[in-house]
């Protein structure tokens, strides 16, 4: 009995101190430096105090209450959890399974389980929020995945979901079947002002955080992208979404598709390969953010045989040139790689591509944190700031000098809880 009591006492003494009943758990993070998400230069010697799910203090030599847990992060940079600006958790790389086959032949249960695993991989890679811009034929399964993550049933980033996305009648896919035979589509088809508003509202009713519209697309294989929705349709859809407090993301490759989206007052434009200096100037005037998705273009080029050597294929160089035009015009830049076209967890490929196209590492890191938060109207994250959500990561090294540090994630904290 004496031996048992001694052992029990030893176990009790070994348990770390925890907050008293009714008090939030406190954690002090002590890295080598802090990248705060707004300043391109990191802050050596800064510390971060977390209370519950929020950041309670930031700065050097913090005074902390007794009972605070301390996590030392030597040689590491603490920074906001990154925000993936353009992802598709229900897709996986096209060199594994072509897009048509994923939409037509993969069971919904398989796609959902794979999406849950992709969400976990994304979180562990340091992305604590993701804007998922369409399930590509998986219906409203992203709403269920968001609920599963929020309830703690499965790990993953905080999700902003667009559900089915909205395309013009006959403009999307899959295609190539007997005319008149109904084929499952990768997005919801709509036509006319009343029809598109009905689709917007039905998707919001089903749980959409974002309304995604396709301003242009190619009607047949081999054809160039052409504008799809009229200006009246774009205006009505955007107004209906904004009335419901939802943001609007627009797939637009052509200059005309971009012009219509800008005139409608959307929140972000994705891809924008054919954008002109005048188009980007108009975007900047309305503070519409641009998400270039360079990594997806590079991945598709590789699937088609490009070995990564320069000169790059025309599609890749076109995307890089568009980003440079956007930067010159002062357009707010979104960081989002269209991940799902390439592997989840490799999200930093877009950061590398943006730096290769001419952005500084600090500017891209700001885009991936506070920039995306601002573009998506997320006022509680994206910066290491008093009162913000304690969505934080630590990477080995200094990512403002060496982007490879972003592939060495040593700590992930989401809402004050350490998940890696």
Query: What pLDDT, in 10s, does the model give residues 266-321?
Result: 999 999 999 999 999 999 999 999 999 999 999 999 999 999 999 999 999 999 99
Strand partners, 268: 249, 289
The conformation of residue 339, written as its DSSP 8-state character, comes to B
DSSP 3-state assignment of 214? strand
Token reading at 164: 């089915």
Contact 225, 171 (CB under 8 A): no
With tokens 């953010």, the residue in question is: 289
Contact 237, 197 (CB under 8 A): yes
249 and 310 part of one domain: yes
What length is written for the chain?
A: 420
Q: Is residue 288 part of a domain?
A: yes
pLDDT (tens digit per residue) in 49-89: 999 999 999 999 999 999 999 999 999 999 999 999 999 99
User: Measured between alpha carbons, how far is 350 from 294 in angstroms, rounded to an integer?
Assistant: 6
CB atoms near residue 221 (< 10 Å): 8
Q: Is residue 59 part of a domain?
A: yes
59 and 160 part of one domain: no
What CATH number should be reported for the domain holding residue 269?
Answer: 3.20.20.140
Token reading at 2: 């004496």
294 and 338 part of one domain: yes
User: Measured between alpha carbons, how far is 134 from 342 in angstroms, rounded to an integer?
Assistant: 15
Q: Is residue 2 part of a domain?
A: no
DSSP 3-state assignment of 262? helix
What CATH number should be reported for the domain holding residue 49?
Answer: 2.30.40.10
Q: Is residue 5 part of a domain?
A: no
302 and 407 part of one domain: no
Residue finishing a domain among 341, 356, 375: 375
330 and 392 part of one domain: no
Q: How many CA atoms lie within 13 A of 334 on its CB side?
A: 33
397: containing domain:
15-80+384-418
226 and 314 part of one domain: yes
Residue that wins the pLDDT comparison between 18 and 145: 145
User: Measured between alpha carbons, how far is 30 from 392 in angstroms, rounded to an integer?
Assistant: 12
For every residue of 106-124, DSSP letters joined together read S-HHHHHHHHHHHHHHHHH
273 and 162 part of one domain: yes
Over residues 251-259, mean pLDDT: 98
pLDDT at 13 over 60: no
| Torsional sign, CA 299, 303, 309, 313 | negative
Q: What are the backbone angles phi and psi of residue 149, rounded to the nearest 5°?
A: -70, -45
Q: Is residue 10 part of a domain?
A: no
Residue that wins the pLDDT comparison between 371 and 220: 371
Residue 110 Cα to chain centre, angstroms: 22
Beta strands 69-80; 26-34: pairing state = parallel
Mean pLDDT of all residues in the chain?
A: 94
Over residues 91-119, mean pLDDT: 98
**Total structural domains within the chain:** 2
With tokens 């790990």, the residue in question is: 155
Contact 334, 86 (CB under 8 A): yes
User: Measured between alpha carbons, how far is 189 from 340 in angstroms, rounded to an integer?
Assistant: 22
Contact 410, 398 (CB under 8 A): no
156 and 57 part of one domain: no
Residue 188 neighbours by CB under 8 Å, 6+ apart: 164, 165, 166, 167, 199, 203
335 and 411 part of one domain: no
412 and 275 part of one domain: no
User: Measured between alpha carbons, how far is 42 from 269 in angstroms, rounded to an integer?
Assistant: 30
Over residues 203-207, mean pLDDT: 98
274 and 149 part of one domain: yes
Contact 403, 396 (CB under 8 A): no
Q: Is residue 254 part of a domain?
A: yes
Over residues 22-45, mean pLDDT: 95
341 and 278 part of one domain: yes
Q: Is residue 209 part of a domain?
A: yes
The conformation of residue 369, written as its DSSP 8-state character, comes to I
In 279-361, beta strands by DSSP E: 289-291
pLDDT (tens digit per residue) in 397-411: 999 999 999 999 999
pLDDT (tens digit per residue) in 312-348: 999 999 999 999 999 999 999 999 999 999 999 999 9
Token reading at 229: 């929705």
Q: Is residue 1 part of a domain?
A: no
């Amino acid at each position: 009995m004496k031996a048992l009591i001694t052992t029990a006492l030893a176990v009790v003494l070994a348990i770390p101190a925890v907050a008293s009943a009714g008090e939030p758990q406190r954690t002090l993070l002590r890295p080598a430096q802090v990248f705060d998400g707004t300043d391109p230069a990191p802050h050596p010697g800064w510390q971060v105090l977390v209370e519950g799910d929020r950041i309670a203090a930031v700065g050097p030599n913090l005074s902390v209450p007794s009972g605070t847990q301390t996590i030392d992060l030597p040689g590491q940079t603490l920074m906001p959890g990154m925000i993936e600006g353009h992802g598709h958790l229900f897709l996986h790389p096209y060199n594994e399974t072509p897009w048509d086959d994923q939409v037509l032949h993969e069971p919904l249960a398989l796609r959902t389980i794979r999406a849950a695993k992709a969400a976990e991989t994304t979180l562990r890679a340091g992305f604590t929020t993701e804007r998922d811009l369409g399930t590509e034929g998986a219906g409203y399964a992203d709403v269920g995945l968001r609920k599963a993550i929020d309830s703690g049933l499965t790990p993953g980033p905080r999700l902003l979901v667009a559900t089915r996305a909205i395309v013009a009648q006959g403009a999307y896919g899959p295609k190539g079947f007997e005319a008149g035979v109904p084929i499952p589509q990768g997005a919801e088809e709509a036509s006319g002002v009343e029809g598109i508003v009905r689709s917007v509202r039905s998707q919001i009713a089903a749980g959409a955080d974002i309304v995604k519209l396709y301003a242009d697309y190619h009607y047949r294989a081999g054809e160039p992208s052409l504008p799809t929705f009229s200006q009246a349709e774009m205006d009505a859809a955007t107004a209906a979404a904004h009335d419901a407090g939802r943001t609007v993301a627009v797939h637009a490759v052509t200059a005309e598709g971009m012009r219509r989206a800008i005139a409608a007052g959307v929140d972000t434009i994705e891809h924008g390969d054919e954008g002109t200096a005048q188009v980007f100037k108009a975007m900047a005037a309305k503070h519409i953010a641009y998400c270039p998705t360079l990594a997806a273009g590079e991945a598709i080029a590789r699937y088609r045989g490009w070995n990564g050597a320069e000169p790059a294929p025309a599609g890749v160089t076109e995307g890089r040139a568009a980003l440079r035009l956007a930067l010159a015009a002062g357009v707010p830049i979104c960081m989002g790689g269209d991940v799902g076209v390439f592997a989840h967890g490799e999200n930093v490929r877009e950061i590398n591509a943006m730096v290769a196209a001419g952005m500084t590492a600090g500017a891209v890191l700001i885009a991936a944190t506070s920039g995306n938060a601002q573009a998506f109207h997320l006022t509680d994250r994206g910066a290491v700031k008093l009162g913000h959500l304690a969505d934080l990561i630590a990477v080995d090294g200094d990512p403002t000098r060496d982007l490879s540090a972003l592939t060495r994630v040593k700590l992930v904290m989401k809402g004050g809880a350490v998940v890696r």
